[in-house]
Chain A
């Protein structure tokens, strides 16, 4: 007989529960933890007793191992009201389910769970996602270890500390978790997107539905197109429209183009008019034209603006880094006259007007030009972005180099 400090969920499920007088109370069916702790604390046990299936407040309990079998001795079993606790049923909701390995940025399956007993309680500390966990569940881990030992071999085991995983899509969870997906959200949107693509559709929807629009839009942009489409069709219309609003108009237009007409129209109508008008305009352009690729989020100033006013305005706008490198100068009819760089602004006298410092030899394209010519021009002139104008030189938008690269990658994939 020995007291246990750490143990696995798989080893204790089905074990007998004894009272301090060593009467059998029942069999362990599930362990319920409070997940508001950094490491979830065991708060209740679900037992199969003569009366049926019931949850009890676990209180402090002892775990005893005798002849390879585990027994639980509970000091007292009180009924428990779980409705006020942020609780999760481990066997039902975590074991065998998929879980996100936040550090490894991938989706793994829970083979087993490891607990640690300390005086203040028993806590879930790690998730076993390795082969050893699988074999332990099959009852093969010990015999295999024994067989392999003479050869100096061991079974690969893989644990992840609980604070490095994120559980997803808990079925029928009545209580909203305080900060869902908080660990996952610390990752780069592109990494989050890779993980989301691995999840089943209902979890994808749940995830996108739970996080705020700003973040949702960042993640959404990075998703594969088929996942984007499936999400737009399955998310509540309001949420889908919110996400699309927060996205660059050109990318929103791209996705909506691939959706069926009726659904696209429904989403556009739900979006704010300003955003949807922009997207609609972009959707007018045929796929192989420069217009279909441009973003309408550019920064432009009238030619009479002074350097000081320009800088003040930029401080107010706080534009994204990719649009700040090229500032466009327009006349009163919104015709493109020239560009100004950040360098120009910094080195110039604050009272000078933009028209006097701007670079007038602007490389630009027209909205109905072919995309094929675009890459050539961008690479020839080493540009990070290129302005797009209409027939009358009116500035319509700009194209960023990463959109060009993306298009090239896409067309290369298609050829394969």
Chain B
């Protein structure tokens, strides 16, 4: 009995030590772009789109599990593996896409920072440059351990959305109904929104990030089981937060027929409906999520580009040792910031184009992931089992179709 108990505690301890990469990735996933999409979905369609979170969750777990497994087994990053197995040309094209998409994504994060602080009456010309400086310091001066701790605390803050949603007094009956009996329409805007929801949840850079942080944690095959749980918990966090954002907007904005254009509008519109506390919480959550992702995105991008092309990289490297790394990091940060500081910047278009770039990248990267994870030379005894492959390929296929549709839709329109 006593032995069982110590075993239990030991397992908990190992679990806590392994914890991190999945949960952080899960939280970063709900970045400014994500919150915007969820808010729009809630405001426009009420509870109708909540069911999409279930397939999104499955796809998240399946893909991240493969990334974590590749990281643990090979000890190599995704960029590293792609370069070694796909050749220079493909790698080059992929990373041009990664760069463009992530500059767009970073701009979206700064838009989130600007929007959320405008709710508190701070001009974007003050908030955006200031946060860029803060981001620079967190990334350049911090060690991985301290950065990770800050981020884990950040993740907790995202639960403000739960309170924000509860203050809106949602209709639980309707929510349950929409999950059990999914409502599917084949109307253009509805389909776009469904694709947007799943697309914003599963984005390419998240795969690079998760795999690198699994390696940085130094996990090994023995830890695989715990790492799987970390991924599952991270994915649960992603969809739970998404759920409450949709609910918060559905219960208030949709019911009252209020239309919004960005996440900030949701916060402002919440005020008369759910009280100023709920509105402030919403804006605060948006701020945290945006600054959180604004830290991770540029650094993760710079890191994977350097990894793929053999430049020195890493937060512990000096400017002299890793000039390419810091140049790429700075360019992404400055461009992202600059786009937002342009007066009357077309934010919706930027968000859209970033999503299109993500959409083109996703199927290509997924294809290589599926190919590499089935390669015995790379994965040894840890290649996909038949079950993994069925789930993996069908997830990949659905995402590929969705991405193609997402890319084609704005063109047709």
Contacts and interface: CB of A to CB of B under 8 A. Distances in A.
Interface stretch (B27-35, B79-87, B155-163, B366-374): B79-87
A228 to B, nearest CB: 10
Contact of A137 (B84, B88, B377): B88
Interface stretch (A104-112, A243-251, A362-370): A104-112
Nearest to A133: B88
Contacts of B75: 200-204
Contacts of A226: 218
B141 interface: yes
Contact of A413 (B84, B143, B309, B310): B143
A106 B306 CA distance: 14
B220 to A, nearest CB: 6
B180 to A, nearest CB: 45
Nearest to A10: B88
Interface residues of B, number: 21
A129 B324 CA distance: 14
B88 A109 contact: no
Interface stretch (A70-78, A229-237, A265-273, A335-343): A229-237
B175 interface: no
A343 B369 CA distance: 67
B114 interface: no
B88 A96 contact: yes
B88 A111 contact: yes
Given A201-B75, A202-B75, A230-B220, A96 B87 contact: yes
Contact of B377 (A106, A134, A171, A198): A171
Contacts of A230: 218, 220
Given A172-B377, A202-B75, A134 B89 contact: no
Given A202-B74, A416-B141, A109 B89 contact: no
B11 to A, nearest CB: 12
Interface in A210-267: 226-227, 229-230, 233-234, 260
A97 B215 contact: no
A98 interface: yes
Given A106-B312, A111-B310, A416-B141, A137 B89 contact: yes
Contacts of B310: 98, 108-111, 129
Contacts of B89: 137-138
A325 to B, nearest CB: 33
A75 B116 CA distance: 73
A198 B146 CA distance: 20
A134 B220 contact: no
15 contacts: A108-B310, A109-B309, A109-B310, A134-B309, A138-B89, A200-B74, A201-B75, A201-B218, A201-B220, A226-B218, A230-B218, A230-B220, A260-B14, A413-B143, A416-B141
Interface of A: 96-98, 106-111, 129, 134, 137-138, 171-172, 198, 200-204, 226-227, 229-230, 233-234, 260, 413, 416
